Amino acid sequence: MSTHVEKDQVSGHETTGHEWDGIKELNTPLPSWWVYVFWATIVWSVGYWVVYPSWPTATSYLTGMFETTNRTQLHETMANVAAERAPYMERLAALDLDEIVNDSELLNFSMAGGKAVFAENCAPCHGTGGSGNPGFPSLQDDDWLWGGSLETINETLHVGIRWDANDDTRFNDMPAFGRDEILERDGINDVVQYVLSFNGRETDKAAAARGMEVFADNCASCHGEDAKGVQELGAPNLTDAIWLYGGDAAAITETVTNSRGGVMPAWGGRLDEETIKMLTVYVHSLGGGQ
């Protein structure tokens, strides 16, 4: 076997012995700085395994000399935050809602905490800042199905809406006038035309006139004779321009035909009382609180 080592005449580096089309491959060594860094990373990794939790064992893992993990650090951080918040939470527990909003320091604390709780639990349905989504009401206007005072908002948060797991949940049930064959198609069209006329929109006047009687017989008991809604029943005002599921003829026809029934969780028991108070104060402040 030949031990002859061929070197490139230009670079002085050895070749690998591979050649293709007259081009020889050089066996160029790695730069020294790269080799040093490579060995340094190996030494660092060994040190890391010794100091911090690393390799699993048969029943546990190597805990490391520091015996610390991201989980323990998180628990320590959360405990420190809880300790800082404790005096405020105690005051929240002791005061009623009116007293909270009249205490500037506690109001600022509640607004900050309520905003965070809202973003985590409520914004997926009600939108960022309570702007609302189709089928989920805006909390920025003053059109409240069940009332927008501090007390009623707090109650709604506690019991939810149509939340079967809570016996005290807010509940109303609009009939499906078409699906359940309470009204014929012509009667539905007439009452839709009548509802459209509340906003001064162009309608079939003859149908709207017939729809007045249909409304009085079937709808006024919940929505009121003036169609301005009844908060005790959660029945919406039909005379303004705020529509949860759409206010054009097609959307109203769908509502009358098949009914609507959104659901909101009951947060009582899922959030502590102090957190619900903060959330109440924040929601009330969004612009539509009464």
Per residue in 160-211, pLDDT (tens digit) is: 999 999 999 999 999 999 999 999 999 999 999 999 999 888 889 999 999 9
Helix 185-196, helix 205-218: angle, nearest 10: 100
Query: Tell me, what's the pLDDT at 92?
Result: 95
pLDDT at site 101: 95
Beta bridge partners of 161: 170, 264
pLDDT for position 168: 95
pTM of the predicted protein model: 0.75
Share of the chain above pLDDT 90, in %: 73
Joined tokens for residue 44: 């660092």
pLDDT, position 2: 56
CA dihedral 75, 78, 84, 88 (to 10 degrees): -130
> How far is Cα 271 from Cα 268, in angstroms, rounded to an integer?
6
Looking at residue 64, its pLDDT comes to: 87
Could you give the CA distance from residue 140 to residue 158 in angstroms, rounded to a whole number? Answer: 20
Task: List the beta bridge partners of residue 133.
Answer: 136
Q: Which pLDDT score is estimated for 1?
A: 53
Predicted pLDDT at 238: 95
Q: Is the distance from CB of 287 to CB of 144 less than 8 angstroms?
A: no
All residues at 6 or more sequence positions from 289 whose CB lies less than 8 Å from its CB, including other chains: 148, 149, 150, 153, 283
| Number of neighbours of residue 46 by Cβ within 10 angstroms | 11
- Does 221 score more than 90 pLDDT? yes
- CB under 8 A, 24+ apart: contacts of 86-90: 89/274
Q: Contact at 8 Å (CB) between 145 and 132?
A: no
pLDDT on residue 7: 82
- The CA distance from 143 to 43, in Å, is 66
Q: CA torsion 25→26→32→37, rounded to 10°?
A: 10
